[in-house]
A and B are shown apart, each in its own frame.
Chain A
Amino acid sequence: MIELKQVSFSYDGSAFPVVHDLNLTVQKGELVVITGKSGCGKTTVTRIINGLATHFYRGALDGQIVIDGQNQHDIPFWKIGKRIGAVLQDPSSQFFADQAIDEIAFGCENYGMERHEMQRRISRAAEKTGSTALLDQRLYDLSSGQQQRLAIASIYAISPDIYVFDEPSANLDSEAVERLRLLLGALKKEGKTVLISEHRLFYLAEVADRIVCMKNGVFTKTFSSAELSRLNTDDLRWFGLRCAALPVLNTRAQCTHKEEAMVIEHLSFAYKKTPVIHDFSMQIGRGEVVALTGPNGAGKTSLARILSGLITEKSGRILVEHHSASRRLRRKLVFFVMQHADSQLFAESALEEIRLSAQAPEQAETLLESYGLSPFKDAHPSTLSGGQKQRLLLAAAESMKPSILILDEPTSGLDGENMRLLAARMREFAARGKTVLVITHDQEFIALACSRLIRLEHGRKIFDKQIM
Chain B
Amino acid sequence: MASSQNKESTRLSVRNYATIGIFSVLMIILAIAVAIPAMSVLYFSLFISSPLIAFLSAPLFTFMVLKVHKRGTVLIYCLIMAILYLISGTPYLAAWFLLSALLGELAMTGRDAYKKFARITISWIICSLFRATNGMIDIWFFSKQYLASGVSKAHFNQVVHFYYSAPWILLILLLTAIGASLGGLVSTKLMKKHFVKSELLR
Contact = CB atoms under 8 A, between A and B. Distances in A.
A54 B1 CA distance: 16
A54 B2 contact: no
A13 B199 contact: yes
Contact of B4 (A56, A61, A382): A61
B5 A60 contact: yes
Interface string A7-22: 0000011000000000
Interface stretch (B108-116, B132-140, B190-198): B190-198
B15 A383 contact: no
B15 A56 contact: yes
Given A13-B202, A56-B15, A383-B199, A73 B4 contact: yes
Contacts of B199: 13, 380, 383
B149 interface: no
A92 interface: no
Interface residues of A, number: 20
Interface in A381-408: 381-383
B159 interface: no
A348 B194 contact: yes
A185 B169 CA distance: 69
A342 to B, nearest CB: 11
B145 interface: no
Q: Which of B1, B6, B194, B200 has the most CB of A within 10 A?
A: B6
A6 interface: yes
B200 A6 contact: no
Contact of B197 (A6, A13, A348): A348
A62 B3 CA distance: 4
A39 interface: no
Given A54-B6, A56-B15, A59-B6, A383 B198 contact: yes
Contacts of B194: 348, 380, 382
A63 B4 CA distance: 9
Contacts of A12: 8
A72 to B, nearest CB: 10
A64 interface: yes
B44 to A, nearest CB: 33
Contacts of A55: 6
Given A13-B202, A56-B15, A380 B2 contact: no
A63 B2 contact: yes
A58 interface: yes
A54 B194 CA distance: 26
B2 A73 contact: yes
Interface string B113-157: 000000000000000000000000000000000000000000000
A13 B201 CA distance: 11
Given A56-B15, A58-B8, A59-B6, A64 B198 contact: no
A36 to B, nearest CB: 23
Interface string B63-83: 000000000000000000000
A62 B2 CA distance: 6
Given A54-B6, A348-B197, A380-B199, 18 more contacts: A13-B199, A58-B7, A59-B6, A60-B3, A60-B4, A60-B5, A60-B6, A61-B4, A62-B2, A63-B2, A64-B1, A71-B2, A73-B2, A73-B4, A380-B194, A380-B198, A383-B198, A383-B199
